[in-house]
Structures are given as C-alpha cells and as structure tokens.
Structure 1
Amino acid sequence: MRVREMSWTDLVGTEPTRRLPSDPLPAWPLLTMLWGFPLMWVLGLTVVPGAVTMAVVMLGFMLVRRYALWVPGVGALVGLCLWMAASAVMIDTGPRMLGFGFRLAIMSFVAIAFVYTVAARTRLTRRRLVHGLTFLWFFVIVGGVLGMLLPGTRLTTPVGMLLPASISGNSYVRDLFFPPFAEVQHPWGAPEPFVRPSAPFPYANSWGVAILVLTPIALACFMMTRSWLLRCAIIVGAGVMIFPAMATSNRGMFAALALAGAYVLVRYALRDRAAPVITLTLLGLAAGGVLVWQGLFTQFEVRQEYGQSNGARFTLYAETIQRTLASPLLGYGAPRPSAEQALSVGTQGYIWTLMFSFGFVGLALFLAFLWGSTWRTRYCRDDVDVALHATLVVSSLAIIVYGLDIIQLLAIALVAAILLRRRYGLDDDD
C-alpha cells in the first residue's frame, strides 16, 4: 500500500505533491497534552477545554500550512468520528447527550493527534513521544499510590466547581470533574471492602488498562535512553507499580502484562538479543515471585467469590449483542441501563461500547484502525519498535473486556503513528 504525502488540498482529490512543509508543524500542541496532563487533571481540564483546545490548534496548523500525511488508518479514524456524530440522532436524554459529547470530543482529539503526529514527524520524533508517554506512565503509578493512601478522597477540580448542579449531578460528569482516588467496593458478604486504586481515572479498570498500555512504552524508553538516571527511575517505577496493581485485583491487567512480556521476549529471542531476553526474564520471575509471596492469587479468589464479575459480564455481553441487533447501524449513541442488572449495556469493554453506542459500523471502523495498524507494523526495525508494538498487541485484546479513556486511546494512536511512519520509511531511528 502506498503512503501519500500531500498538501491539504490533495485530500480532496488533486494530484498529491511529494514535499515537506516549508515551516514544519510544531511539536508543542501534542507535547502540552502529554507533559501537561497532570495539571489539566488537577484543574479538571483534561477533555474540555484541554483536549478540545489542542485538537483545534493542531487542526488549525495543518489547515493553515496546508499539509497532512495520509497513511493507512487515517480513513478509519476520521470515518469513525463522522459515524459517531451521525449517531447523535439516537440520543434520547440530555445527560446521555452530555456523555456522547465527551466521547466524541475524545475520539476527535485522538484522530487529529494521530494525523498530526504522522505529519509532524520531523519535530514529534519517536524519542520525544516515548518520553512524554513514559512520563504519563509515572503519573499513573503516582495516582495508584495516592489511591492506596487516600482511598476515600475525591479531587475537587476548579472546573467542576463552576458546573451547574444540573450537570455535575450526572454520575458520569461527577466522576470526570470530581474523580475519586480509588474505587471502594462493598460487595455483600465480603469480609472487608475492596479498595481499588483508580486515580487519575474514575475507575480501577481504567487504571489497569492504562498500566498495561503504557508499560511497554516505558520499556521502550528504557531501551532507547542513554540516561542511567532515567533507567533507574523506570526500574523503581516498575517496582512501585506492583503495589497499586495488586490492590486493584485486576486479573485481566496481570494477564495482559504477562502476554506483553512474553510477546517481547519471543520477538527479542527471534532477533538473537540475548541480553534483554535474560534481563527481562529475571525481572519477570522476580516480579512474579513478589506477587505470589504477597498473596495475589488469594486476592483474586476472594474478589471472584464475592464479586461474581464473570457471570455479570457474560450476561451483559449477551444483552448488548441482542439490543444492538435492533439498531445495528447507528447504535444508541451512548450506553443505557440494562434490563437485567445494575450495570449499563455498552460497558465492560470498549468493543461493546462502540458496538452498542455506534453500531456495527462504528465498531468495524475502530477495529480497522487498531487491528489494521497492529498487523501492518508487525515487522519491527529495532528493539524499541518491538516494545512499542507490544502496546498495540495487548490493546487489540484488552478492548474486549476493558474500556478506554483519553490517555489509553491517545497512547495507542501515538504508538500506531510512530510505527506506521517507520513502516513506510517516513521516520529515522530517533
């Protein structure tokens, strides 16, 4: 498949021109979202106006300089955003329209960031993006520690305080602008509450999927940096990560991390990279030993005994499929209450959210982007690319049982952009 480098007018049908813009696209709009995310979270600005503003800025730069780069995956993401917008006609209440607006804003930002990252390849280098995403990995770990230390705390953001009660009273909005540091669950019969760290996300599962998406990127950062200080920080971060990860009792997260580790080890072994294979194997065995010693499997058993999450999930998935068949094209615009249990239909996995909210077409477009990017970039040029590709591999499976928030979606899109640039010879080894 050919990659077309083109001016903005080329996107509407004129003959493509092979050129770089005379004034390269700046890196700061996207790097602001990566390095500025902690401050935006504290202020309540992560999606509105943070992501929305940066999306407008990036789109403005591409329009003014009449430059973009069309690679496989762009059409699927842009098409998904348009299809999501069309699904707005299925929204039946104001609160659901509000949630729909947030989801559309997030996906639009991610799509624009993907296109912008490919186009701004001279300034948004692989190194700068990997460092920025690794910084987010550190921040997610810090959030997990805060969730363990202050489980009953909710962050009160300035933006949240400005919202009218009619809006902030919505549970989804409340979790966005007054996020809890941890999910404290009280299942009936459990000997004690389950305290599951979640910050900087509203839900513990979101914390878990952020860890499994960002940890391979942190490994890539370790492989590419020459700074021993940064390497030591990554090792310490990985050690600290074990404790909030255990507190979440998130079986899928641990299984996905094990899969990512096995995938990287096999790929490195096939490349005859003995040193990283031995090092990662020893670190993995040490981490596994600590987890078993700390009683991880006992935690799994206790939570499964009182939570009964598997049965609830399978029942919800069956209902999601049945109800989507009644509106297979546009879906319902947003999740809705289940007729059989307390959970909402269109939750407990991103593919189910897409299927129920935006129909089978919306789901197909997202899978075309994610699974297509994962397949196209399977041939990695170096060790760093192998670690980055593990993010796409585990994400391709994790979406079956986990939802994706703005950070997870952005990380996936940026990794896909990096690897696609390199797949089509548009990037160097930096």
Structure 2
Amino acid sequence: MRRLLRPPPPARRPIAALFVGYPLWWALGFGGLSLVVLAVPMAVVLWRRRPIAVPKGMGLWALLIAGYLVSALMLGEMPPGTYGDLGAGRVLGYAMRLALYLSLMIMVLYLGNLTPDELPQRTLVRMLGVLCVTTVAGGLLGVLAPGFQFTSPLEMALPEWIGGNSYVRNLIHPTAAQVQHVLGHASPRPEAPFEWANAWGSNISVLLIWFVVGWWTYGGTVRRLLCAAVVALATVPIVYSLNRGLWIGLAVTVAYVLVRARSRTALAVGAALAAAALAFWAGPLGAIVAQRLDSPHSNRIRAFTVAGTLEAAAHSPVIGYGNTRNAFGNYQTITTGRTDWCAECGHPPLGSDGQLWLLLITQGYTGAALYIAFFAGAVRRFRHDRTPIGQAGTLVMILVLMYMVVYDGLVTALILYLVSYALLWRNAPVPGTAPPGPAGPQALTAPIGTNGTAGTEPILNDNRAVTDPMRTVGGVTRGRLRAVGNEAGRPTRTTGTTTTAPMEAFR
C-alpha cells in the first residue's frame, strides 16, 4: 500500500496517470481521450532522448497512420447506399481518430524507451491490474445502479454542436450502464468506466489477463487472495454484460492457458474450471447466459451493417472514406432513421461493428491489411517467449485478431492492445542480454572479479528490472545480464550469466 501511495518517479508519471488515475479522467469526461493529453509530455521526453529505439513491426503502424492521412481526401465522397453531408462532425471524428492513432504510437515508443529502473515490467503490469480493479468496480456499479450518470466538466465546457453528437456524448458523458432490450426486456449492460458496453467487455478480458499475471503469478499470499476475490466478483458484471464476444474471449484464454501450461498445471486448472462451471450453471447467472444465447437478434443488425460496409468499401478499396457513413434503411425496412411510426428503424453507422469493418470503410482493404499484419506479426515474433509476460502478451495479440470482427478498437481497447504490445517489446530478446529467472524473488549467481580474481555474488532478481529476456535454446539461455535491480533498486551489471529456462504459462 505504501508503494501505491508513494509518488512515482517522473518518467513513469504519464503512465501512472493514464492507468492508475483513469477513474479521474473518466469523471472529468476525457476517458480514453486522456491518452491524447498525456501523449504530449511523452513526446517531449522522447524528443529529448533522441535517438529513439523503435520496435520491429512499428513501421506497419506508421504506414497505417500515413494511409489514414491519405484517406482524408475521401471525406466528402459518399459511397452508394449511404447518405449525409461533409460537416464538422465528420471532420471532428476523423481528427479524433488520427490523434488517437498518433498518441498510441507515441505511447508505445515512450514505454519502450524507458529504462528498467524508470519503469520495471512488473510495475507496469500491476498498473494494469489497478485498472482491472477499477473496471470490475465499474461493472458492479452498472449492475447495481444502472441509472447512475452525471454531466462531466468536459461535457459542460464543450459547445452543443460537439457535445450533442451521439458519438461524442458516449465518450464524454459518464454512465454506469447501457440499458438495452437484448433479452426482450430492459436490462443493464455495464460500461463504466469506458465508453460503451462492448468496450467494457473487450477491456475486462484483457485486463483480467494482466491482473492474474501481476497479482497472482508475481504476487504473494495477500495479493493472491485479493486476486481470487476480484476475479470472483468480476463474474457478476461479466454475465450481466450479455457480451458473447467477451465470453468467447474468456474461453479462448482458458484454452490458451491449458495448452501452454505444464501437464500437471493444466490438469489442476482444468479440474478447477470444471467445478466452477458446474457451480455457475447451477446458479442464477447460468440462466442469464442461456437466455442471452437464445436471443441472437443482434446478429441481423450486424449482418446488415457488415454487408453495407463491404459494399461501400468495394467502391474505394485502397484508401477508404476517412470516416464512417450512414446507410439507407436497416434490416427491417428501407426507412432511414427513427420515425414516429417506426421507432425501431435506424442502426449504427457502417463500420461500427468491429475494428476490421471500421478500417475497411475508413482506410479500405489497405488499412485493414496493415492492422492485421501488425498484430499477426507480433504473434509470430513473440510466440516463443515463455515468460508469463511474454505468454500473456501473445495471448492478448491473439484476442486482438479475434475481437477485430466484433469490437471497435477505439477508444480504450486499442490503448490496452498497444500497451500489451509494448510489454512484449520490452520483454523481447536483445543481443547480449539474458532473461529474468523464474517467478518471484530468485538469487542468481553472477561472476565478479576484483583485480583479476574471480568469485560469485548473489543478485536478488524479482523480474522488475530485467525487461529483455532471450529465447531459450535447448532449455538454457546464455548472454549478458544488462541490468538487474535488487530490492534496494540499485542495478548490478554482470557478464557470463547463465539461467534456466523461463517459467511456464502464467506460472
């Protein structure tokens, strides 16, 4: 607790402000837009630290941004079957997405250029764990008090023509839940502290992964007890979210852990999950899940918008249209929008059913290909990293590729995706470096010498200061330990270190 209350070192303050201080940003009305604000001091620090290290594959993200700049040429064009004029709302939406794409790149470079002493890996993971606790609390608020909402300071400051836009209002108006008729009656779907219910579902699945790594794998007895309690509490809003994509993502996560864990660990995890599943289905929450699976009416809405998106993208397949578009009619009628006699008419804009579809209409097939190549390349490069952070980050990259067909990445989801990418980069092998040892404090023996004599000196390694593990070859990793932080925070440099293979999945 004293560590959490202690002011963070200057270099990690923007990151702490983003993840630990996220509830405050949400209350102020910024939410995920806080990254755009915090990217300014990050960019200043990067500029002063030139030259800047850039991870392999980041060029694809730069090309994605460059393509989005070119797509601005099509903002005034309308594909067949859509309507609307070029106005301030369309330009504002384009500018906001561009600012977020740029801020995400700055965040990744900033994280990767911080030294291990400035921001240890374990500290960054535990910051994400704090945000996970915030997300679970927001989910419970959405279940217990779905009508909770208030006008944020940013919302009060913006003119009506901006703040009154439905998309902008979702971003700046804090609400506990979206009340929808998914089950045929009004039911709350938690969304606090994010912009909408689907964003909450996507984010909690990623945050739970990092929470388990930071608070269970790297935690002591107290942290593990808290971890188990938070995960148990998270079950309630996860079920009430009625979010099938989230449920599938959690199933993929469990399958990934079972496949990559040791056989004995996999057996224990499988037995525990089987017992939990039986208890779950026997309780009231299981009935809610079954009812949601029997109410797939949203599939027709998605089918309509996806078909319209593909048709629109076919008319500008290379650079897209810069922003989303509204289509004539919906899956029930050719009427556009709601009317007095057709309250159910109207639908989300084309490109709003997933990041893949958003990229297709805003940047064409070129943008979608760059996005897929960026995250698929991360899976290919980092899949051999057997440390908990390496395996958790690779799992997140896999979920990104799955979620892109059902979830929008903007605003907050992409922040978590890219910080996971940064964690993988910081954990990646660097020539001449050696990996951290097994989970928890470990005593490594490093050769030292004084006036030509040799000896050994124990070094306490808690995995917080080493951020560049090498891949194992034949079960042994060899290299030079660049900087290992002891409990006092003093790095010790050594050469010729040999450690055993890193730990298995999530342990």
Q: What's the TM-score, normalizing by structure 2?
A: 0.74
* Residues 308/300 of structure 1: CA separation in 2 closer, same or farther (3 Å cut): farther
In 2, the alpha carbon distance for the partners of 1:40 and 1:386 equals 30
Correspondence for 1:56: 40
Change (3 A) 1:103 1:30: same
Aligned to 1:259: 252
Deviations 1:289-311 (A, max 9, x none): 34312355643454455551112
In 1: Cα distance, 2:434 partner to 2:273 partner? 32
1:385 aligns with 2:385: no
Ranges in structure 2 where 5+ consecutive residues have no aligned partner = 1-8, 76-85, 331-346, 437-462, 464-507
**2:52 match: secondary structure:** strand
**Which amino acid is the alignment partner of residue 66 of structure 1?**
R
On the 8 A contact 1:74/1:115 being kept in 2, the answer is: no
Return the offset for 1:373: 0.7
Q: Report the alpha carbon displacement of residue 331 of structure 1 after superposing the two structures with TM.
A: 1.3
User: Post-superposition shift, 1:345?
Assistant: 0.6
Tell me how far 1:209 sits from its aligned partner: 0.6
- In the other structure, the counterpart of 1:45 is 30
Residues 138 and 327 (structure 1 numbering): CA distance in 2 closer, same or farther, change over 3 Å? same
In 1, Cα distance between the equivalents of 2:132 and 2:275?
A: 21
Structure 1 position 130, deviation (Å): 0.5
Distance 1:241 1:193, change over 3 A: same
Instruction: Report if aligned partners of 1:197, 1:244 keep a CA contact under 8 Å in 2.
Output: yes
Q: What is residue 147 of structure 1 aligned with on the other side?
A: 142
- Structure with more helix by fraction: 1
Q: 1:370 aligns with which of 371, 375, 399?
A: 375
How far apart are 1:223 and its partner, in Å? 4.3
Count of residue pairs the alignment pairs up: 400
The answer (yes or no) to whether the contact 2:393–2:420 under 8 Å persists in 1 is: yes
Give the counterpart letter for 1:285 in structure 2.
A
| Matches of 1:379 and 1:241, distance apart in 2 | 31
Structure possessing the higher radius of gyration over alpha carbons: 2
TM-aligned CA distance change 1:306 to 1:387, over 3 Å? closer
The reply to whether residue 419 of structure 1 matches residue 424 of structure 2 is yes
Distance 1:254 1:47 in 2: 23
Equivalent in the alignment of 2:270: 281
Per-residue CA deviations over 1:369-425 (Å, capped at 9, x if unaligned) read 111111211012323422332222222211111112433212221221222333332
| Offset, 1:47 | 4.5
Greater relative contact order (Cα 8 A, min sep 6): structure 1 or 2? Answer: 1
Report the equivalent of 1:27.
Answer: 12
- Residue 100 (structure 1) aligned to one of 91, 94, 98: 94
The whole-number CA distance in structure 2 between the counterparts of 1:343 and 1:167 is 19
TM-score, structure 1 normalization: 0.87
Q: How much does 1:25 deviate?
A: 9.1
Equivalent in 195, 201, 207 of residue 200 of structure 2: 207
Task: Summarize the Cα distance change of 1:308–1:149 in structure 2 as closer, same or farther, 3 Å threshold.
Answer: same
For residues 28 and 404 of structure 1, what CA distance do their matches in structure 2 show?
Answer: 25
Over 3 Å counting, the alpha-carbon distance change for 1:25 and 1:118 in structure 2 is: farther
CA 1:397 to 1:239, structure 2 compared with 1: closer, same or farther past 3 Å? Answer: same
Structure 1 unmatched runs, 5+: 1-23
Cα deviation digits, residues 234-280 of structure 1 (max 9, x gap): 111110011011111112211110111110121013xx5x34x3443
- Output the CA distance in 2 between the equivalents of 1:202 and 1:406: 8
Distance 1:307 1:260 in 2: 23
Question: CA 1:185 to 1:385, structure 2 compared with 1: closer, same or farther past 3 Å?
Answer: same
| Superposition CA RMSD, Å | 2.2
The one of 223, 227, 236 equivalent to 2:220 is: 227
Checking the alignment, whether the CA contact within 8 Å between 2:360 and 2:367 is kept in structure 1 is: yes
What SS class does the counterpart of residue 184 from structure 1 fall into? strand
CA contact (8 A) 1:249 1:296 kept: no
Aligned partner of residue 404 in structure 1, secondary structure: coil
Matches within 5 A, 1:4-403: 26-48=11-33, 50-91=34-75, 92-122=86-116, 123-186=118-181, 190=184, 192-269=185-262, 274-275=264-265, 277-296=266-285, 298-303=287-292, 306=295, 308-341=297-330, 342-403=347-408
Kept in 2, the 8 Å contact 1:47–1:106? The answer is no
Q: SS of the counterpart of 1:220?
A: helix
